[in-house]
Structure 1
Amino acid sequence: MTQSVWDATSLPEFSKVDPATVAADLEALLNKNRAEIEAIVAHNVHPTWESLVVPLDEIEDRLGQFWSPISHLNSVKNGPEIREAYNACLPMLSDYATELGQNKALYEAYKALAESDAAAQLSQAQREALTQTIRDFELSGVGLEGDAKKRYGEISSRLSELGSQFGENVLDATRAWSKLITDVNELKGLPDSALAQAKQAAQAKGEDGWLFTLDIPSYLPVLSYADNQALREEMYKAYATRASELSDDGQFDNTPLIQEILALRHEMAQLLGFDDYAELSVATKMAQSGDQVMAFLNDLAEKSKPAAQEDLAALQAFAKDEYGLDELNAWDVGYYAEKLREKKYAISQEALRPYFPINKVLSGLFHTAQTLFAVDIREESDFDSYHPDVKLFTISKNGEDVARFFLDPYAREGKRGGAWMDECRVRRRLDDGRLQLPVAYLVCNFTQPIGDQPALLTHDEVTTLFHEFGHGLHHMLTQVDVASVSGINGVAWDAVELPSQFLENWCWEPEALAHIAGHYETGEPLPKDLLDKMLAAKNFHSGMQMVRQLEFSLFDFRLHREYQDGVTAQAVLDDVRQQVAVIIPPAFHRFQNSFSHIFAGGYAAGYYSYKWAEVLSADAFSKFEEDGIFNTETGALFRDTILANGGSRPAGELFAAFRGREPSVDALLRHSGIAA
């Protein structure tokens, strides 16, 4: 049995992150790395895997282990000190990455290894790592000279700063708005859980009444349930104009940042020989070209829009017939949609909440993973943490530990919105033969526990947890020992959502829900009538949801594909909406100003990946529909093809190995209720 690494360096020590010394420590580490890289290149006249890649992986991992807790804390515990330290480091990291990507001697060493006789003896993972590394050198401007090379470095550094500033503006703008209500009569229609949460938020600030914010667990219940239309409108406007010229006196306005980001990305793409940034983005993805992406999105839009139009027409008719509403405003859509759902299916997210206490959901999630993938999961009690809510779990297989993950489930001040999985440690083979085991961060923004009551999740939050855990399993159940293609590394971006969206399917299966759901007070399973209603309502407004995601995807891709000086993001978004949207938001809406996925995350000209991967995930799940949703052989096949191989083989090959054929869009349209 190979010895694995669970020692003092296997988990980050958050309490040892000292913002005052972070920048100096990073500078020293980067200089050490530079000296070691120079020595490695000088001694590799005839490079081998062991003499070239192994020591470079060690250098890369050392930097990753230094930066991981700092980057993570910046997202989950953002405050002045951490933010200052993080931003002080970004230019150094950007310069270092640019230097590395444009190191011709290093590039030639990798090429020499890839073209050597010894390359034939390398493993599939090692050969794929070499191929991707050489490609990434070329996409990092290794072939640039003189002014072009200098300009590429300037652009990279500036884009890093702009992305960080964009995200900070969204966080600060979200945090800047709140509303205290002291008359409970203004809050009619809100469920008890939302009122209790707002009361708890007010008490935490030393106030009497009910405090509402733009954090999703506070915002969504108001838009969905509050009878007070004026309150819905006020919160909708505040949320829709975050980080724009229309809010906070423009203090956190992201509009100029968007224009600069787009201009710099376009310039970078052209420096590298691409027509536009969209083509540069596709160069590392499963899709073959920008034309293929556009054809895919337009085809889905054409097939989905009629269903979306039917959804909207039914909602408008319901609001008029039942409530005498002649005009359905943007802040009315969620409210009347929830009324229609309750009338049509006699169910709401709030009715389900008591049956999804977080510990029961976690138990059901772990049961699903254990049954499908033959793993065991246990909670750890002794570890360094940055917040009392954070939990740590270990995954084992056949009695041997294989991975760990931190779970940070609840929304709080100083934590960016949304949900995500991120690497903490990557699985790789060390130079002494031992195996470093993978560790993941799983982060959500669920409604916090209220008083002595456990956190009660909506079914939407349950699917979010399964989604992020699917990403985590991709990272943690890898069997690849080469860092750059281990877990999610090296996986084409438009395939990386496959395991996450795939795992969501179990949230809708009665056989799985028997383990996921149980009343928080009695343990009673989800009653059959509620289960039947929930399943019947599964595709409620799925047409509108589909075109909304296509709107985001087309906006992102066209924005980067059709960039021209003087053309604003708003103009592109308006044009896309005319093509695919059935609900046109008010003119004041500034969705793009908080679209962190593409301006502060990794999804630039890649947001379409959600839909692309959804085709793969729906088709993959259809095999379980055929074989049985807890079929252990099919689960083992998914684990051993998709999850175990990480980025060591092209995603299309792995999908075909699992499914036995190329992917088909039919399952997605069927699962969405858009096609029979």
Structure 2
Amino acid sequence: MLHLVDFDNMTPKELKQQVTTAIEQANAFLDNLDKQDTDSQSNINIAAQTALADISHFDHINLALDRSWGVLSHLNSVMSNDDIRHTHHELLPLLSAYGTRVGQHKPLFERYQAIKKDTIFFNSLDTARQRATELALQRFELSGVALSNEQQQQFADIQSQLSTLSASFSDHVLDATQAFALPLTDNQLAGITDSGLALLAQAGEQYKAKLLESKQKTEADFKALPSPYYVATLDIPVYLAVMTHANDRSLRETLYKAYVTRASEFDAHTNKKGESLNNADIMQQILALRAQKAHLLGFDNYAKLSLSTKMADSPEQVESFLRDLADKARPFAQQDLAQLQAAAQKYGIDDIQPWDTAYLAEKVKQDKFQLSQEQIRPYFPLPKVIDGLFNIVNRLYGIHAVEYSDSVSRWHKDVRFYQLFDADDSLIGGFYFDLYARQGKRGGAWMSGFQPRYKYINSNTDNSIDAQTYQQLPVCFMVGNFTPATSDAEGNETQPSLLTHNEVLTLFHEFGHGLHHLLTQVTVGDVAGVNGVEWDAVELPSQFMENWAWDSEGIALISAHVDTGEPLPQQMLDALLAAKNFQSGIQTLRQIEFALFDLLIHSDTPAPDYQGILQTLDKVRDEIAIMPTPDYNRFANSFSHIFAGGYAAGYYSYKWAELLSADAFSKFEEEGIFNPQAGKAFREHILCVGGSLPAKTNFETFRGRPASIEALLRHSGFGQSPQEEMQSNKEV
């Protein structure tokens, strides 16, 4: 019942055929509904039970589309090449047109209405089906079902343009990231760690291969290049290796400028067609189209449209939340900056610039806590971290994972596949780990729940669906961009991937999303797992999971020296835990800066043009940031979360959900971090229910009260002001 994908035989051509066939079948079903309603002249008296059968039938037809398109979208993110990208983009208008037709299809809409209006029948349904019905009715309204024919066509055009523009934005960021390569001289390597040098050498080999392939170098030139050949790129592991450790300040500045000007007017790179990668025009088009969409649906701006489906009540509430949190974080951020300024003097830096902060922060961490990410990296080999992670969730939820990589088709040799079992050895679902950075893979980390838990019983009598009963268990992809394992010339692994603690946190974060998807007991696909969960609550399980990578008991399970197997020494453990909130004031303000910028550009009426976008960002920085930003910084041009992802007017969700996460974990702090009753309650009231109930209801059922900000402030180290802390220390 896992219904796994045969990636070995899944070509872009095959996926395109699957997508188009699925859309044709779904459109045929909608055509038949149109005919039924035309023949009967009215469906006012349609029976609720008949309506539910039609809806369930349609959901089942759409399963094939969700699956094939989900796989193609996934491959475009993790194995992008010209063929995959072309197929993906070619299908976008077709998908957009189909999605718009569904959202504006009145006969289908009226079937949902028939279920909702029949109070006795509606109340007899389980909560998941009730919730799915209510959310569907909301989606219809937000898809323009009530608009005039002319307005519906306008809405459809907007949706089509937005899907294409967002894909282009993402392409430009990926292409700009991978176009940059800077060969380094020996004197630029000072300070970079051994693991960093290995990454630079690996990037160098890839760079040489590209030069040879593009015929920019002859075979003789290729052989004349030094080995190892160190090349800096903008892939995150390489970028951070340089920005955190390179003593050469001008090198750090060069890399910083390249990173923050990707896909902007300052980026001279082009795609294979010779076209500019500048996202400026795309950004203003996206904002203008989103504003038009909001106005068509009766909203003042896109922020109000976005928040209509979230936990937060209004943009004003979100803005107040962000500004209040900024006020609480600012004194601590100023203290963080003072630490960096004191360290800067030791290294001949008179004025701290953004390309200095990671470097200085690492120096301060070493001085203050005797802690270095490189010192602790050997204690977090990826296989041990994964084993410890599985141990932790077994103790919390009674579940266990078993690897089946060798017997399962995968899209890349580095991908691992696991099945997840419950305490009684019943199969829960499956998941793939794709954790290493590589060419053709977009940056960042994410979980894709492409296959939800689902059950269908065919109640139709026409036998148009072969199976009378169909069930599938949840399967997901968990993706990261960690430092790869090192290999010899024959490709044999010589050392496993060694993670920084930040990478450990990322793995735990994505696995929290994965558990939310996998542990659901809901079989209505629209509200199973993460589906149907309000966007500003969907980060709760992921951020919640990170807490076990910050606890001494949890760290003991995920750490062992790669060579000796020795546990993380107590001195390093103490330093790691003491440094948990190091620079958290500055980091919090940075997150708030992004979130407030996102909220404001989607609240502006009319929507801002490119200069307006930059002006808004400058205004937010003036208010929130405590360090100046160079005028050339074009961070917004690669802000994929809001221009190519689902976080538009929703980036605040990370902080909003962090509040929920901290408060949820406080229950474990009170009752024991491996308390089985607390774990059972979190599984039952948060993970199992998916989107079948409002997130606020789920949280308050679990916690026994509304959420409180106190735990977030404490976890962030904001329990006392710096002045209060100093006074407390004096009194002690």
User: In structure 2, which of residues 639, 647, 650 is the aligned counterpart of residue 606 of structure 1?
Assistant: 650
> Which one-letter code corresponds to 1:309 in the other structure?
Q
User: In structure 1, which of residues 215, 218, 234 is the aligned counterpart of residue 238 of structure 2?
Assistant: 218
CA distance in 1, matches of 2:17, 2:265: 37
The answer to whether the 8 Å contact 2:18/2:68 transfers is: no
Structure 2 stretches lacking a partner, 5+ long = 38-42, 210-224, 271-275, 458-467, 488-493, 721-732
User: In structure 1, which of residues 338, 347, 353 is the aligned counterpart of residue 371 of structure 2?
Assistant: 347
> Which one-letter code corresponds to 1:493 in the other structure?
W
2:290 is the counterpart of 1:297: no
2:257 is the counterpart of 1:255: no
SS in structure 2 of the partner of residue 577 of structure 1:
helix
Cross-structure match for 1:646: 690
SS in structure 1 of the partner of residue 376 of structure 2:
helix
In structure 2, relative to structure 1, the CA distance for the partners of 1:555 and 1:129 (3 Å cut) is same
Give CA deviations for 1:349-405 in whole Å, capped at 9, x if unaligned: 111100000000000110111110111110012111110000100001111001100
Query: In the TM superposition, what is the alpha-carbon distance from 1:266 to its structure 2 partner?
Result: 0.4
Identity of aligned residues (%): 47
Structure 1 length-normalised TM: 0.97
Query: In the TM superposition, what is the alpha-carbon distance from 1:640 to its structure 2 partner?
Result: 0.3
> Which one-letter code corresponds to 2:28 in the other structure?
A
CA distance in 1, matches of 2:328, 2:605: 27
Query: In the TM superposition, what is the alpha-carbon distance from 1:583 to its structure 2 partner?
Result: 1.8
Cross-structure match for 2:593: 551
User: In structure 2, which of residues 478, 484, 491 is the aligned counterpart of residue 448 of structure 1?
Assistant: 484
The answer to whether the 8 Å contact 1:430/1:436 transfers is: no
Cross-structure match for 1:105: 107
Query: In the TM superposition, what is the alpha-carbon distance from 1:65 to its structure 2 partner?
Result: 1.4
CA distance in 2, matches of 1:626, 1:18: 52
User: In structure 2, which of residues 367, 374, 385 is the aligned counterpart of residue 361 of structure 1?
Assistant: 385
Cross-structure match for 2:461: none
CA distance in 1, matches of 2:56, 2:357: 56
2:376 is the counterpart of 1:383: no
> Which one-letter code corresponds to 1:419 in the other structure?
A
Cross-structure match for 2:304: 279
Query: In the TM superposition, what is the alpha-carbon distance from 1:91 to its structure 2 partner?
Result: 0.4
Cross-structure match for 2:165: 162
Cross-structure match for 1:430: 456
SS in structure 1 of the partner of residue 403 of structure 2:
strand
CA distance in 2, matches of 1:530, 1:465: 21
1:203-242 map, 5 Å: 203-204=205-206, 205-206=208-209, 207-208=225-226, 209-242=229-262
SS in structure 2 of the partner of residue 645 of structure 1:
coil
SS in structure 1 of the partner of residue 536 of structure 2:
coil
1:386-535 map, 5 Å: 386-397=411-422, 398-431=424-457, 432-451=468-487, 452-535=494-577
Query: In the TM superposition, what is the alpha-carbon distance from 1:674 to its structure 2 partner?
Result: 1.3
The answer to whether the 8 Å contact 1:258/1:599 transfers is: yes
The answer to whether the 8 Å contact 1:23/1:88 transfers is: no
Query: In the TM superposition, what is the alpha-carbon distance from 1:25 to its structure 2 partner?
Result: 4.3
Give CA deviations for 1:209-267 in whole Å, capped at 9, x if unaligned: 21221000000111111001111111111001001010125721001100000000001
2:147 is the counterpart of 1:144: yes
User: In structure 2, which of residues 19, 22, 25 is the aligned counterpart of residue 26 of structure 1?
Assistant: 19
Cross-structure match for 2:8: 15
CA distance in 1, matches of 2:542, 2:413: 27
SS in structure 1 of the partner of residue 602 of structure 2:
helix
Give CA deviations for 1:563-613 in whole Å, capped at 9, x if unaligned: 435462111101111111112210000000000000000000000000000
The answer to whether the 8 Å contact 1:14/1:69 transfers is: no
SS in structure 2 of the partner of residue 362 of structure 1:
helix
> Which one-letter code corresponds to 1:423 in the other structure?
G
The answer to whether the 8 Å contact 1:102/1:142 transfers is: yes
Query: In the TM superposition, what is the alpha-carbon distance from 1:22 to its structure 2 partner?
Result: 4.2
> Which one-letter code corresponds to 1:447 in the other structure?
T
Query: In the TM superposition, what is the alpha-carbon distance from 1:434 to its structure 2 partner?
Result: 4.8
Which 10-residue stretch deviates more, 378-387 or 40-49?
40-49
CA distance in 2, matches of 1:30, 1:435: 21
CA distance in 1, matches of 2:103, 2:634: 36
The answer to whether the 8 Å contact 2:52/2:112 transfers is: no
Query: In the TM superposition, what is the alpha-carbon distance from 1:113 to its structure 2 partner?
Result: 1.1
CA distance in 1, matches of 2:673, 2:321: 29
CA distance in 1, matches of 2:499, 2:688: 31
Cross-structure match for 1:674: 718
The answer to whether the 8 Å contact 1:166/1:254 transfers is: yes
Which 10-residue stretch deviates more, 430-439 or 591-600?
430-439
Cross-structure match for 1:175: 178
User: In structure 2, which of residues 610, 625, 637 is the aligned counterpart of residue 581 of structure 1?
Assistant: 625
Cross-structure match for 1:36: 29
Cross-structure match for 1:196: 198
How many pairs align? 667
SS in structure 2 of the partner of residue 106 of structure 1:
helix
Query: In the TM superposition, what is the alpha-carbon distance from 1:24 to its structure 2 partner?
Result: 4.7
Give CA deviations for 1:613-672 in whole Å, capped at 9, x if unaligned: 000000000100000000011001000000000000000010001111000111111011
CA distance in 1, matches of 2:322, 2:565: 44
CA distance in 1, matches of 2:516, 2:162: 29
2:83 is the counterpart of 1:81: yes
> Which one-letter code corresponds to 1:348 in the other structure?
S
CA distance in 1, matches of 2:449, 2:33: 27
Structure 1 stretches lacking a partner, 5+ long = none
SS in structure 1 of the partner of residue 407 of structure 2:
coil
Alignment root-mean-square deviation, CA = 1.4
